[in-house]
Chain A
Amino acid sequence: MVQWAILSGIEGNLTAYEAVLQDIRRQTPKVTELYILGDLIDGTPEGNAVVDRIRNPKKGELIPQVCKGAWEEQCLIVRGLAAEPEANPFLTEKGGAILKQLWDHIPLETVEWFRQLHFGFAELDCLLLHGSSLTVFEALTPDISPLVLLDRLSRTGSNRLFCGRSGQTFQYQVSQGKLAATVTTIDQAAVNQDYTIGDPAGTAARLIVGVGNVGRIPKQATYTLYNPNTDQVTFRTVRYGRAGFG
């Protein structure tokens, strides 16, 4: 039995990460793969402890597969190791002061490790990444046009996209689609084209899943379990810092 735990946005909150790891250990069926879709840090020194914990799992723990998030990418930009995008929504949101924080608090050795991280993972029929297939900074949310979401999914050739930038947990399903087109060229009269998505039973739907956020909201972490065999998505909410986890 294969079961994935997919999380994102620890954002320097080691307590939240430990709570999620504990929740993962309790799962039945057992979690076989652990994916962390970026934003391990948040520009504070506490982020370094999270990075250290992820890089050095305890004996018997799953070895996390980690890709870059917006915070990690911004670290690379600050150090001149990645190109600054024309428009940087992350800097607009966080403000310029964050640049000095990243420079001061994140050691170069850690940044070099960030540099080795992948943009995302393509596994089976799934793409797992932080933002979107276009950029690590793009947040996909359920209120975006279905055509935009389809575009971000189709660019990768996958039918399942797991992302974490928005911090939301959501399952967006495009169950059916149809489109007819005609193309006329200078040498050829109209040629018909037909495109379909899904089937009447809805078994060939396309999915975009927001996997939640571990560290941003105090005492409440969210993450996602996914079974690639059954295609079942389960959202987990972990309440920590008081008796009992939910």
Chain B
Amino acid sequence: MKIAVISCIHGNYEALTTVLKDIDSQNVDQIYCLGDLVGYGPYPNEVVTLVRSLDIPTVQGCWDEDIVDGLNACECSYPSLLAEKRGKVAHQWTDQEIHPETRAYLAQLPKVLKQDQLAFTHGSPQSQHEYLLPELDGFLALERVLSTGADILFCGHTHVPYVRTLKQHSLTFSVRTNSGKAIAPEQEFTAPVKRIVNAGSVGEPRHGRPNATYVIYDGDREQVTLQEVEYDYHKTCTAIVEKGLPPIFAWRLAQGMEFAERADDPSHLCERGV
């Protein structure tokens, strides 16, 4: 089975339609979407309508969650205070713009989808707001994959695509109780090779270029391909300005990068709980 995985569309209709055309040429059996359909971009309703009309299995992103429940994120949702301030402006704009049926659709999205040995989530299985950065401690990354019961965990949220293979792992542990005796003699925990695949971002890429990114996974060949697609981002930038969103979002989209100052702790783990 061959699949395409898209994520973080952020109301960028132009990028989405271009990526869907590219996916059409790849002969995939199924498309999955890792959420964040809305936020930052000028066409949240149009993006949701298109994803719904194509019946694409979709998980709820952090933006989708916050538009439904209200802003309720811990400090890890934004890389800096400035980014948080701008994010709140975008949240208010999107909150006023979206239609009731769009909100209702976002509200019913699951946090995790599972298909055979593949799992799909926005941030991490623990929270839509948690960043699985490629430098996250390897054991913690492995725990996130194992918690889904899958061999490959597809995620987004960071807007930078990557493939991370976790292998040759083992843990030696022992347990003793108050009798002083070991109730479990020294044991070794091992697991097969696992992978985390970050699909990047269709509508608000941050890998250094304005092009949209997504992922193709060929299950028969066990091959992951990171895709980069050019689209007319000028159209989206113009719409951002015309619709009254902060112009700096257009600048960011054109650069393909997050311009905010570096976070104090970019590896911060979300404390919002399981």
Residues of A within 8 A of B (CB): 85-87, 134-135, 138, 142, 145-148, 150-151, 154-155, 168-187, 190, 193, 195, 197-198, 212, 222, 235-237
Contacts and interface: CB of A to CB of B under 8 A. Distances in A.
Contacts of B137: 154, 195
B95 to A, nearest CB: 21
B174 A173 contact: yes
Nearest to A137: B273
Interface in B247-274: 269, 271, 273-274
A145 B177 contact: no
A146 B168 contact: no
Interface of B: 134-135, 137-143, 146-147, 160-178, 180, 183-184, 186, 189, 200, 207-208, 213, 226, 228, 269, 271, 273-274
B139 A147 contact: yes
Nearest to A156: B269
Contacts of B274: 87, 134-135, 138
Nearest to B134: A183
Given A135-B273, A187-B207, 16 more contacts: A138-B274, A142-B175, A142-B184, A146-B173, A148-B147, A174-B171, A176-B171, A176-B172, A180-B167, A181-B141, A182-B164, A182-B165, A184-B162, A185-B160, A197-B171, A222-B178
Given A145-B146, A171-B176, A179 B208 contact: no
Contacts of A178: 168-170
Nearest to B186: A175
Given A176-B171, A185-B161, A187-B208, A195 B178 contact: no
A147 B171 contact: yes
Contacts of B213: 186
A67 B180 CA distance: 27
Contact of A134 (B166, B167, B273): B273
Contacts of A183: 134, 162-164
B140 A151 contact: yes
Given A147-B189, A175-B173, A181 B178 contact: no
B169 A172 contact: no
Contacts of A174: 171-173
B231 to A, nearest CB: 16
Nearest to B224: A184
Contacts of A181: 138, 141, 164-167
B189 A146 contact: yes
Contact of B138 (A86, A186, A190, A193): A193
B6 to A, nearest CB: 15
